[in-house]
Structures are given as C-alpha cells and as structure tokens.
Chains A and B, each alone.
Chain A
Amino acid sequence: MEKRFMKGCEAIAEAAVRGGCRFFAGYPITPQNEIPEYLSWRLPEVGGAFVQGESEVASINMVYGAAATGKRALTSSSGPGISLKAEGISYLASAQLPAVIVNISRGGPGLGSIQPAQSDYLQATKALGHGGFRAMVFAPATLQEAVDLTYNAWDYAERYRNPVMILMDGCLGAIMEEVELPEMKNSNPEDIEDWCLDRIGDRTDSHMITPILPEPALELLNKGKAMQYKMWEMLDTKVEEFMLEDAEYVVVAYGIAARVAKEAILRLREEGYKVGMVRPITLYPFPKASLNNLDYTKVKGVIDIEMTIPAQMREDIELQVKDRCPVHEYGRSGGMLLDDEGVYEAIAEIVKGGE
C-alpha cells in the first residue's frame, strides 16, 4: 500500500487508473477539473486513452462507445454537466454497458454556484436519465473511502452490466487528505467476451450493442433489471451505523455532511445525549433496513442533515420511519457550506428540546 497526501479529485482519478480504467472522456466544469487534468497525462502512461470531448453530451457518448469495447471507461462532471449526460447514461443502462460516472456536485439548480453542495441526490438516485432505470450510487465521506469505492466501482458495473455513479460534493473533491492507494488491478475485465465489441478469443459471431429493443425484449430487460435492483438491495447496500445501540435521536447524513454531523454527535455524547447516525454509503440501494429496524420505542426523532435545501433524502427516510417518530431536517444550500457549529446547534436544538 502506498500512502499519499492527495486532493479528492486526483485521488479518485488515480484510484480509477488502479481499478483498471483505461478510457476517460470529459468536458471542463468546476469543481471537478482536476480529474480530467490528471487523467490527461496519467492514462497514456498506462496505455489508456483520454479524450477531451466537445461537450458533456459527446463525452458520455464516447464513454458509451468505449464501454462497448469492454474497456473500463469513466467520465466525470458536476451538476449542470451531469444533466447533459443524462441522455447517454440512459443509453448505457439500456444497452447494458458498464461504465462509471463521477459527479463532484455543486450548488444548484441551474448554473447555480461553483461552490460545493449535495444538491443532486434526487437526480442520482431516482432518475439519472429518462426511461426509468436505476444505477448504483456510491457516496464516499472520506478520500480513503472515495479511493476504495472508485477502485472497485467497475466490478459492480461489470457484474450487473449497468452504469455506476460516484456522488461526491465539491468539498471532498477539493480537500487534501492522506490516502492509501491500492495496487494496480488487472485492467482486462473478465466475462465480457459474450457481449463486447472487442474480438476476444476466436469469436466468429457478431455482437450487437443496442439502446433500442423490440417491445417484448425491452419489457423482459426491464423485468430483469427490476429483479437486479432488488438484488442490489440485498447484496450491495453499504452503510455505516454509528452509536445506534442506545440512540434516542438518529442523524441520517451522507458524504461531507456525515463527517460534520459525526463531530456534533460526539460532542453531544460527551454532554450525555444519546445520539447516533445512519450514514448511507450507497445512496442507491438506500440502506432501508438500518432505518426500518431502529427501535422506535426508544428513538424520539430522526434528523436528516444535508448540504442542500430542501433536504432531498428526506422522502427515502420517511418511507422507512413510517411515522413512528418525527423526521427533522437541517441543511445549507447554494454553495454555502455546513459547519460544525451550525450542525451541532441544529441537532442540539432538537435533542435538547425533546427533554
């Protein structure tokens, strides 16, 4: 293991290379420019290809073409650019192509703000494009977690032949932290010879990669995917449960918000208040069980902390809480950052008010 003090975006880029990524296409947008900048020199070093696309639209379609060849392909952007990629992500889902999309998110809606925000939760988890498909959404809270999730993202994408998203706010994209970098993975994916365009082995039949299907086949695909999404829920949900055993108040937060909240929880614990946290690491599949199985004879309130207003994860939380206790929300938005004091005060007001 190699330790390095790295910037979030660069850590993701290096983890991608080590995870076998050999193709990147993207378009400049703040705050994720260090990803394409890093990969523009790094990918050629390992025999990969980097293309600066003429737009996000073109870039995601280059990724679509590259993924069809069986190469591990990546694109990255931020909110406005992810909206432009929506078409291509839907086509990836339809053509069952594995690829990884990174969203280093910023304030929205619209051109919004170039400052960090967690304003793309609903887009990421409910509708990354038209047509009703889902993608796994990983939401790291530390750069180490970002490295580990990125490194393994293609394993999920290839196993399920589906796009995977890494959703990380601009704050984590910009901070520098120490990370341990894993070894280079074999960049030749396995079990792709049945569908990819590359002629692996002595293939003589031809392959069709298609985003359009005859109606019965399309329904069959959608039924299969519906079953697959259930499977993700059972097998691939990732969550951190923090100090839940005796918790009377449960914070739900992901990414940077979870780090700020954790500090507030520790402070409240020191003061004697029983606060815990559910931190979704996969936003889709959402860690339903962690919230559904709380002991609601003890839990007096659930607090959704997000760096966006209004809170977007709240509906997913409420579906699990099922009115068994009140759900509160606190956030900052538009590129205004959460901070330790604001989050502490918001939680403390609810917790202490409940006395």
Chain B
Amino acid sequence: MKQSFVFSGSGGQGIMSAGIMLAYAAIDEAKHATYLPEYGPEQRGGSAKCTVIISDGDIISPLTKKCDNLICMNEQAYRKFSDDLKPGGLLVLNSSRIKNEEVRDDVRVLSIPVDDIALELGNVKVANIVLIGALIGATDIVSKDVFVKSLEEKFKSKKPEILEMNINALNKGIELAK
C-alpha cells in the first residue's frame, strides 16, 4: 500500500516537522518513506509545504501531482492546494483558521480546530502533533505506539511535562478523528 500526504500552511506552523515526524515513524515501522520539502525564499512566514510518501514497497517517484491526504493549516494553503487532493481522499483542515471556505464535497473532510486544542493543552506549538494524531486516527498509516516512541526519543532531554503535553495532543487528535 502506498499513501501520499501533503502538509501545507505557512512557515512557523510546524508543517515541515510534522512531515518529517510522520516519515520517521513510518521508517521505524520498517516501511519506506520519502519526504520532500518545498519552501519559498523567505526565512519566516512564507508558504510551507511538504510531501510525504509512505509505502510498504520501494518508492519510485517522490513527486506526485495528486495526493491521497491533504492537510491544510490555513486558508491560503487550502485555496492553493485543494485541487491537488484525489477525489475520495482525506482532507484535514485546521478549523481554528479555516472558517469561511466552501469545502470540496468529493472528499472525506476532517475539520479540527488544532490551534485551539493546542492552546488548551498549553502551547500552540503542539498543533502539528494534534494533526498527526488525527491522521493516525483516520488512516492507521503508522501505529500510535511507534509514534509515541518517537516522541519519547525526541523529547528525552526536555522536561517530562513537554512529552506529556505532546502525547496528550496526539491522543486528542486520534480521538477527534475516530
């Protein structure tokens, strides 16, 4: 099975790190993965997009026009990339920021206020972890246990509260997607 994910938003929203974390988790599960970042020339605040492909077999091309899963963190990203989602694909919207858009009706839509949830949990920076939780909940692309392990690895030198907040964010995302 092969699945492609496009994460889109603006710089600073944790788009790139969400993509990398998902790819790492897939590798940890002995799957194949590619991660392709695309940036504008800006160092901060420009548009951010990355494509992650996860597959049980070899990944021949890391470049795909249409994706199976599209994650949009703001309205500009939705407007720019919504056509790139395959019909029947999964669209995950950050409803904290995407409020007034008319959304495609030929795809599965998950609207989650990830910014608000992250703020409730203590830090807007965990918004991307809520997102990954939603993806795990909706697609089973990687197992929750493997992702928790990679969070533990990532935050092992930080305070335990930080790891806890991230795991809470993950659980919340999974819960909302189910």
Query: Which residues from chain A sit less than 8 Å from chain B, CB to CB?
Result: 5, 30, 114-115, 171, 174-178, 256, 259-260, 262-263, 266, 337-342
Residue B144 at the A interface, CB < 8 A? no
Selected from A114, A175, A262, A341, the residue in CB contact (under 8 A) with B65 is A341
Q: B60 CB to closest chain A CB, in angstroms?
A: 5
The smallest C-beta distance from B70 to any residue of chain A, in angstroms, reads: 15
Provide the residues of chain A in CB contact with B27, threshold 8 Å. Answer: 5, 178
Known: A256-B63, A260-B61, A263-B61. A174 touches B37 (CB 8 A): yes
- Complex-state Cα separation, A45 to B24, whole angstroms: 26
In the complex, chain B residues 12-30 whose Cβ is within 8 Å of any chain A Cβ: 20, 23-24, 27
A-B contact sample (15 more), CB < 8 A, given A177-B59, A256-B63: A5-B33, A114-B41, A115-B38, A174-B36, A176-B23, A176-B33, A177-B33, A177-B35, A178-B32, A178-B33, A259-B61, A259-B63, A262-B60, A340-B61, A341-B65
- Number of chain B residues close to chain A: CB under 8 A: 20
Report whether A340 and B23 are in contact in the complex, using a CB–CB cutoff of 8 Å.
no
Identify the closest chain B residue to A260 (Cβ). B61
Q: Quick check: A341 and B61 within 8 Å, CB to CB?
A: no
Distance in angstroms from A210 CB to nearest chain B CB is: 42
Q: Which residues of B contact A339 (CB under 8 A)?
A: 63-65
Contacts of A176 in B (CB 8 A): 20, 23, 33-36
Residue of A nearest to B4 (CB): A340
Report the minimum CB–CB distance from B52 to chain A (whole Å).
Answer: 9
**Which A residues are in CB contact (< 8 Å) with B97?**
none
- Least Cβ distance of A242 to chain B in Å? 11
Query: Is there contact, CB below 8 Å, between B34 and A175?
Result: yes
B164 to A: closest C-beta gap in Å: 26
Chain B residues whose C-beta falls within 8 Å of the C-beta of A260 in the assembled complex: 61, 63
Give chain A nearest CB distance to B147 CB in angstroms: 15
Question: Which of B36, B37, B41, B63 touches A340 (beta carbons < 8 Å)?
Answer: B63
Flag if A175 contacts B61 (CB, 8 Å).
no
Nearest CB in chain B: distance from A42 CB, A: 20
* A171-B37 Cα distance, complex, nearest whole Å: 9
Tell me the nearest residue of chain A to B41, going by C-beta: A114
A334 to B129, CA, bound (A): 35
Residue of A nearest to B31 (CB): A178
